[in-house]
Structure formats: structure tokens, C-alpha cells
Amino acid sequence: MESNVLTSTNSNGNLRNYDEVCDSFEWSQAEKAFSWAETGLVNMAHEAIDRHADSDKGNKVALYYSDQHRKEEYTFKDMRDYSNKAGNVLKDSGVTKGDRVFIFMPRSPELYFLLLGTIKLGGIAGPLFEAFMEGAVKDRLEDSGAKVLVTTPELLGRVPVDELPELEKLVIVGDDVKEDEKTINFHRQFEQASSTLDIEWVDREDGMILHYTSGSTGKPKGVLHVHNAMIQHYQTAKWVLDLKDDDVYWCTADPGWVTGTSYGIFAPWLAGVSNVIRGGRFSPEDWYQTLENYKVTVWYSAPTAFRMLMGYGDKALAKYDLSSLRHVLSVGEPLNPEVIRWGMQALNLRIHDTWWMTETGAQVICNYPSMEIKPGSMGKPVPGTEAAIVDDEGNVLPPNSMGNLAIKKGWPSMMRAIWNRPEKFESYFLAGDWYVSGDSAYMDEEGYFWFQGRVDDVIMTSGERVGPFEVESKLVEHPAVAEAGVIGTPDPVRGEIIKAFIALRDGYEYSEELEEEIRNFVKRGLSAHAAPKDIEFKDSLPKTRSGKIMRRVLKAWELDLPTGDLSTMEK
């Protein structure tokens, strides 16, 4: 094991002596940076943008935006003014404190103005990934009781407006938008809007952002984060992202996922650094070009992306000058030692794994620039947070025992609610104090944590979390499908891919066309990333006597493993 350790070459990291900081650090020390230290009130958008706009950083580039059609730069002053303007458009649409404003559009500067504008009004922003289809969009807008939806003319067709009685206004970002009582032409109003706005000063415990995520049962759940999360975003931007004033930072995640807000918006801007946002889809050449063009110094991405780059070969890489890069991080899935080795050889840098989840709001277990890395390990808890391995009763287990990865309640960016479902929220906590992540892991004698797998059936495909229940529910809506069971199966690039086992209704027979039709049915109903890549047809599926599909048995079939205890199986 020891021979595999990668020593740090960065003694200049912001977190220099991990053990010492762990012993002495309290979160209250980080709070001094923010307005509530003086006024008792705060607003994330002020701290991330306006605070810098009003300082000597006002003319510094806050956002480098590019996609295939646009290439733009915005200073902190621009971001202040444009998010004020966007805020005014939303204010005119009736948005007030606590209202849910959903933003369903591809990455673009306007998305960022509108998200910040929502937060400036004290609203709760709900970013939705652009690939969502009608069913997924409806579930989220309905559950959250969204009052305003921001979208584009292209995506509007996927919004069942008539079925959403609480939705009062549509703010459409695009050309030739026809306005009516419900519909607002963003560009027209934005042009006319004032660039000053009275920020809504809120309590640090007030709601700020709602991210929907999947579990193994039930519909996606709305994970609510509050302004207080900024303490952890700010502190981990220093310690984990290692951001310093002159850094150019790029997080590749879309704001539809938590990484794209916590670390694509809040952390870098709280730290006052220049933030690169690249629109459009993944392409290896494009990504290398982006790193080169902007002279990116700190880069945060995901194992699937690194594996795709790795698979694309080093010849492509050799065409680009990536010498500005100094710190690379990864999140979302296990980071294979093989990928770390590729990083060492291709980029001459260590890739730093970080572990956290939608519910934790910010990084929790990480590898720090100044620390030794054990490839395959997620690292050690962020100072100020306490992580442990606990058994199912909440007892802390000794080193090297497999168990539930748990975090002591009370870290600043912890979710504050599951929207409308208090009992679901409570179900995350064991023995009162431990938040149980749903991941199994162990901790070694030196305090490094090692990921082992999910305890539940949640699937991680290309770093995106997919709930099998949601896919199964959609599958059985198809007229040919009698029963469906969905599992994740290992994939060398995407981590896992989605596999569905299907039993057809009487009168239907397997054909390639039917298989494709069923796959497209899920694509159209939920999203492309939720559609099963692989479908296997069976006469019937293994079920418990109460009729629940036994995914465990499907997984055992798939992986050629023993099926375990089948005593509850229907015969």
C-alpha cells in the first residue's frame, strides 16, 4: 500500500498542516468573512458577486463564458449589474422571498444572471438539467410548487404548463418570444430593467436552492439548501480547490446538478476568482482547447470525463499547451487508481478525489494539495466535519471495518429539508446525530476513507445519480411492459450503465423494434441518461411475496454471483 502513496509536491497549498487545523478549526472562524457578522443578515449572491464588485476586484473577470456560438467575458461589476437586471425581471413577474423559481435551460450567461437574480430576491432557485423530458420536469415543478419557470422556446414544449396550476409565469429566454399574461420575453424586459436592485437580506437559515435527486425508492426528492452553506463553500474553495486570487478555475458540471452550483457558482465566486463556464456537450478536443485558451489553473471534473479523455489518447493531448494547470480534482464516482496514474503521466499532476453528495451541499471527504494521496481513497474529512463508519444502529466502528459512511450532523452546508417530506428527511439520521450517506466504506488506520459501494440500489452512471424506481415506473407505463426491474451494471467508462429486465404483457413478443421503442419511451419521458442502455427480456421477474421486484437477484444474475437468501421470493 505505502509504495502506492503519491507524495505532495505542493507545500504551498492553502491547507498546509491538516492535523493541526483539524484540532483547532471551528466553522465560526470562517463566518467572519460575511455580512451577517455585522448585520445578522446575509445573501449568497451579495457575498459571491456584489461584495467583489464593490471592492478592488470590480473590474476583474468573474465569468469567462464560451460555447460554439458565443464567447463572452463579464467582470464582477457586470455580474452585479446583470444579476440585478435579471432580478428585476423576476421581481416584475411576482417573485418574492421563499418563492420557487425553476430554471430549465442550457448553460449560458443568462442562466447565471437569473440564478443569482433569484437568490438576490430571497427566492429559492431550482436548476433543472436541460436533458430532462416532460415527465421529469413535471414531477419537479409539481412537487416544489414552482411559481415561475425560466426556460427557452426550444424547451418549452417539454413543460406541461396546463397541468401545473401553481405555475404563474414563464420567463422565456430566446428570440421572437410572444408575450401574454403568463409569458414574459426575458430579453425585452432585461434590456429595459434597472441595474440596481434592493437585495433581500435574509436569515442564514433561509432557503436558497433546491436540487432534486434520486433515491432507490419513490420519486426524486427535493433537497433544500440554505444560505448558510456559503461557509463551507467558501472554506472548501480555499482548502480543497486551493483557490488563490489569480487562479482561473473551471468546473465542468452543469448547474442542474449540485456540483454545478456549489462548485460551479458559489465556491469560486465566494473566493473571488475568475470562473470558466463552457456550454455545449463534452468533446475531448474542445475540453483541452478550453483549458488551453483560458489558461485554466484549477480544474474540477469527474471520473467519467477523465476516462473518456484517457480513452481518446495522448496524441490529442499533446497538441495543447496545458502548462497553466496546477490543481485537478474529481467528484461523483469512484476515481480509479488507473485514472490517477493517467493524470500523473499525461498531465504530470495528481488528480484529487473528493467525496460528497447532493444532501451534503459541499465537499466532505477530500484529498488536499498538501497531503499524501493514496490512490483509490477518497481522502480525509474536511476540518470541522466529523465522518465515521457506523453500523446500522449508529455505533462507530473501528478502523478497517466496512459499514455505513456517516457524517456528524451539523456541518454548515447540510441540507435543511426534503421538500414537503419531513419524514424522509428524518430517515437519513441514525441515533439522532449521524447522517447516513447510503454509501458503504471503511476508514484505514491513518484516517483515509475508502469507498466500497452504495448500500441501496441507486445507480451512478457517468457521475449522474439515477433512481431505479423512477425508470421502472416509466417502463411499466409502456403498454407492452408488464414488469420491470432496473439495476446498474459495471462499465469501464461510465462507472455503471443502466440495465432493465423486462417481462412483456401477454400478446406482446420481443422484437428489436419493440426494444428500441421501449428505450425511446424512457428517453422521451424522463431523459436520455435515464434510459436503459441494455434491456433483457424475461418471462417473469424475481419478486418478493408482496410483489416487490428483487433487484438484488437481478444483480446476482447479471454478475454471476450467488443469489443469497431467497426465502422471501415468490415461488
Binding footprint of ligand PRX on the chain (CB under 6 A): 213, 258-259, 331-335, 353-358, 378, 437-439, 451, 454, 460, 465
Quick one: 378 or 475, whose CB is closer to ligand PRX?
Answer: 378
Closest CB 288 distance from ligand PRX, rounded Å? 23
Outline where 26-133 has alpha helix (H).
28-31, 36-39, 44-45, 51-53, 76-92, 109-120
The residue (of 159 and 364) whose beta carbon lies closer to ligand PRX is: 364
* Of 406 and 549, CB closest to ligand PRX: 406
Shortest gap between Cβ of 257 and ligand PRX (angstroms)?
A: 6
Instruction: For the CB of residue 61, give the shortest distance to ligand PRX in the complex, in Å.
Output: 27
Pick between residue 418 and residue 460 the one whose CB is nearest to ligand PRX. Answer: 460
Strand bridging mode 534-538 / 351-355: unpaired
Residue 175 CB, shortest distance to ligand PRX, in Å, is 34
Cβ distance to ligand PRX smaller for residue 174 or 376? 376
Is 275:72 a contact under the CB 8 Å cutoff? no
Please say which residue, 491 or 536, places its beta carbon nearer to ligand PRX.
491
Closest among 27, 34, 14 to 270, alpha carbons compared: 34
- Amino acid identity, residue 32? K
Nearer to ligand PRX, 84 or 330 (CB): 330
Locus of grid cell 418471462: 539
Distance CA 225, CA 164 (A): 24
Identify any residues that bridge with 126 across adjacent strands, giving them in sequence order: 102
In whole angstroms, what separates CA 458 from the centre of its chain? 15
Long-range contacts: 162-169, Cβ < 8 Å, 24+? Answer: 163/138, 164/138, 166/142, 167/141, 168/93, 168/94, 169/93, 169/94
Shortest separation between residue 564's beta carbon and ligand PRX, angstroms: 22
- To ligand PRX, the closest distance from the beta carbon of 68 in angstroms equals 27
Please name every residue paired with 483 in a beta bridge, in sequence order, or none if there are none. Answer: 503
> What's the closest the beta carbon of residue 465 comes to ligand PRX, in angstroms?
4
Smallest gap, in angstroms, from Cβ of residue 261 to ligand PRX? 10
Q: What's the closest the beta carbon of residue 255 comes to ligand PRX, in angstroms?
A: 13
Q: What contacts 24+ positions apart, CB below 8 Å, involve 511-519?
A: 514/480, 517/478, 517/480, 518/475, 518/478, 518/480, 518/481
Q: Which three cell numbers stand for residue 347?
A: 498531465
Please name the helix (run of DSSP H) or strand (run of DSSP E) that holds residue 252, with its range, or none. none
Query: With respect to ligand PRX, which residue has the nearer C-beta, 201 or 429?
Result: 429
- C-beta of 441: minimal distance to ligand PRX in Å? 9
Residues 6+ apart with CB under 8 A from 276: 64, 248, 249, 250, 290, 294, 296
Nearer to ligand PRX among residue 190 and residue 300 (C-beta)? 300
CB of 262 to ligand PRX, least distance (A): 8
From 499, 239, 248, select the one nearest 354 (Cα to Cα).
239
3-state secondary structure of 340: helix
**C-alpha cell belonging to residue 399:** 478502523
- Which grid coordinates are listed for 298? 484549477
d(CA 281, CA 303): 16
- Tell me if 469 sits within 8 A of 218, measured CB to CB: yes
Smallest distance, ligand PRX to C-beta of residue 464, A: 7
Percentage helix, strand, coil for the chain under 3-state DSSP, each rounded to 5: 35, 25, 40
Place of cell 457586470: 78
The distance of closest approach from Cβ of residue 490 to ligand PRX in the complex, given in angstroms and rounded to an integer, is 14
- Which is nearer to ligand PRX, 76 or 249 (by Cβ)? 249
Tell me if 500 sits within 8 A of 473, measured CB to CB.
no
Nearer residue to ligand PRX within complex by CB, 365 or 481: 365
What minimum distance in Å lies between the beta carbon of 354 and ligand PRX? 6
Identify which of residues 152 and 404 has a Cβ nearer to ligand PRX in the complex. Answer: 404
Instruction: Return the number of the residue (84 or 354) whose C-beta is nearest ligand PRX.
Output: 354
Query: What single-letter amino acid sits at 297?
Result: T
Residue 27, C-beta contacts closer than 8 angstroms, at least 6 positions apart: 231, 232, 235, 384, 411, 412
Q: b/e map of 275-305 (b: 16 or more CB within 10 Å)?
A: bbbbbeeeebeebbebbbebebbbbbbbbbb
Q: Is the CB of 422 or the CB of 453 nearer to ligand PRX? A: 453
